[in-house]
Amino acid sequence: MGDGSSDKLVIIAAGGTGGHMFPARAFADEMRARGWTVGLISDSRGLRYAADFPAAWKEEVKAASPNFRKPWTLPAAALKINAGISRAAKLMKATRPALVAGFGGYPAYPALAAAKRLNVPIIIHEQNAVLGRVNRQFARHAKFVASGFNRLDYLPQGAAHMAIGNPVRAPIIAMRETPYPPTDGKLNLFITGGSQGSSIIGDTVPLAIADFIPAPLRSRLKVVQQVRAEQMEGVRNVYRRAGVDADLAPFFSDMPERLAAAHLVVARSGAGTVSELAVVGRPSILIPLAIAMDDHQAANAEALTDVDAADMVLEGNLYPKLLGSLIAVRLEHGDDLRQRAAAAKSAGKMNAASDLADMAERVAEL
């Protein structure tokens, strides 16, 4: 463990999406609580998620994702990436970090490349069950690779690996003690689509509920659904026609409470969603995003399907009849739901942020 002195600096390299930034933020909170100074390097896209990121400073660098299918774009991408690496290297020479922690996303590349060039120790955290492209490139050079799930595809031979889980937000952890709701009255069905590709969920789930769930069960439903703004009117009309009590919004600011109140969750299987379902302990039907790189969302879902806490329905099989029948089967059996909730909870990794911080401090002391 570190001595808590505030002159130790950890630079976090992350970006692109909330999926990379949220676990990075939980780690940053933990390191700051231990007396560390935290710096953040990302690009403009990543910094959009960092308004309240707990860093002493945030540095924007240029980054790009090379598209080898469009070779004419590669020279411009290379120029951007090299400019980002130079900026990150200059910053590291000035601030002398004890280590750099990479959380994935192409905006993390410049800082990790600069750290490698300057022999600054690197640690990596991979949220998904498949090592992402940037993390894959630096895994061999990292002191260790921590991962959100026990499964980690594309891990290079010889890389030190520890499956510690995904750091989740404190408000989610606080919901772990909320008991599974009684199943003899209203049944809460929570449907969330994630930031990408939720239109298929908005198209399919309302029809599944309206047309393929028996009327006695449908009358007990309380549906809470995240719906894209452009789909709102159509979804609302489907539920109104079927007499379903539905609370619809493009975004819910009280996600932890909604999750804890749910009897069953229908969701994408992004790393954060799967980890939060396990920490709170709620049964789910997971619909992996088909276009996800290396099909990593299907790999993520296995963390819950393997322990009978979730069902997985691939997008190619996402028909209203199949989904409605599955929702009905699950909601009609309260004892089975409770068992699935307990199974999900047993897969929850509570101490990911502190475990990652422990390992980071050991690396810094080597």
CATH 3.40.50.2000 assigned to domain 173-346? The reply is yes
pLDDT at residue 68 in the model: 65
Tens digit of each residue's pLDDT (9 = 90 or more) over 351-366 = 999 999 999 999 998 7
Tens digit of each residue's pLDDT (9 = 90 or more) over 293-323 = 889 999 999 999 999 999 999 999 999 999 9
Q: Do domains 9-166+350-365 and 173-346 have the same CATH topology?
A: yes
Instruction: Identify the weakest region by mean pLDDT among 52-56, 79-83, 167-171.
Output: 79-83
- Asked if 81 and 114 count as a contact pair (C-beta separation under 8 A), the reply is no
Q: How far apart are CA 41 and CA 39, in angstroms?
A: 7
Average pLDDT on 341-351 reads 96
Tens digit of each residue's pLDDT (9 = 90 or more) over 70-102 = 777 777 778 888 889 999 999 999 999 999 999
Q: How far apart are CA 204 and CA 256, in angstroms?
A: 24
Superfamily assignment of 9-166+350-365 in CATH? Glycogen Phosphorylase B; (3.40.50.2000)
Tens digit of each residue's pLDDT (9 = 90 or more) over 223-248 = 999 999 999 999 999 999 999 999 99
Per-residue DSSP letters for 79-115? Answer: HHHHHHHHHHHHHHHHH--SEEEE--SGGGHHHHHHH
pLDDT at residue 51 in the model: 86
Annotated domain spans of the chain = 9-166+350-365, 173-346
Residue 198 has pLDDT above 90, yes or no: no
Provide the residue type at 239 as one letter.
Answer: Y
